[in-house]
Amino acid sequence: MPPAGRRTLSGLFLIVLMVLLAACSSLRMAYNHGDALLYWWIDGYIDLTSEQKGWVKKDIDELFRWHRKTQLHDYTQILQSAQRQLAAGPTAADLQNDYDDIKNRTQLLLFKALPELADLARSLQPEQIATLERKFAANNAEFRKKNMKGDREAQQKFRYQKSMEQFELWFGNFTSEQEAQIRKASDARPLDNELWLDERQRRQKAILAAVRKIQHDKLNKEATMAVLHTLIKDNFDRMEQPSDRKAFFDAAEAANIQLILTVIHIATPAQKAHANKRMQGWIDDFNSLAADQR
């Protein structure tokens, strides 16, 4: 499987990624169809050959079995912790720890898949690498269209609306007074979509360079895994390493945490109960999924 997603908004929003897999469907349904969704996602990036399709599906099935058996109980504990944080009122340090936990778990998943990632990378044909490059270009065009349209005010509004979609998923509807406070906290975040686009392109170029090196040098599986391990680690460490952009990354992360703290602080008891109920539903779903050892 190719490298997957990178960040979620915070630990309190850990499972949003799962929900987005199936929009209005239940988490349980999203997870149970996650293997097929992941397969079609991969196919959309590289156009799998008929020979690749069978073993790629098998690799995905095995990864999901491992994940179901070893990770889902941990997710229930994370959500239970989030419920306690919501009731008591989390601190910035709490949310920072939550984010670090998400990052570590995402790395664990990718490192677990390294042998399968290596098999896929070694099997890629030149035309598939070209397909991947075109897909990256199309994604970048979509990013520009959505995130970089209009002036700064328009871009801030779009970013705010994306955040509100997640907040409303958790807390339900907000009053106009609450929305104004959330908008103020949202607009206080550093905004530089040119920089984020450049970061996207940097990661994409690194992926393309890695798979081309693997093909050109005809690397064996062990060497390929080493290349991919470095690629994944560099991607996750990028924002923590000293650079001319670290001040921006740090400020953006701190402002995102402050935005979430603002929402939690102004949420009514009914809105917090809405979030708690949603988390409990996902806890129940994860427990049920973990018990279903398919």
Q: Which two tokens stand for residue 46?
A: 């590289």
Span 106-146, pLDDT tens digits: 888 889 999 999 999 999 999 999 999 999 999 999 999 99
Q: How far is Cα 56 from Cα 58, in angstroms, rounded to an integer? A: 5
Tell me what pLDDT residue 86 has: 92
Task: Tell me whether residue 260 is exposed, middle or buried, using C-beta atoms within 10 angstroms of its C-beta: 0 to 12, 13 to 18, 19 or more.
Answer: buried
Task: Tell me whether residue 73 is exposed, middle or buried, using C-beta atoms within 10 angstroms of its C-beta: 0 to 12, 13 to 18, 19 or more.
Answer: middle
**Between residues 173 and 77, the one the model is more confident about:** 173
**Between residues 4 and 130, the one the model is more confident about:** 130
Model pTM above 0.75 = yes
Q: Is the pLDDT of residue 7 over 90?
A: no
Task: Tell me whether residue 152 is exposed, middle or buried, using C-beta atoms within 10 angstroms of its C-beta: 0 to 12, 13 to 18, 19 or more.
Answer: exposed
Q: Are 79 and 282 in contact (CB under 8 A)?
A: yes
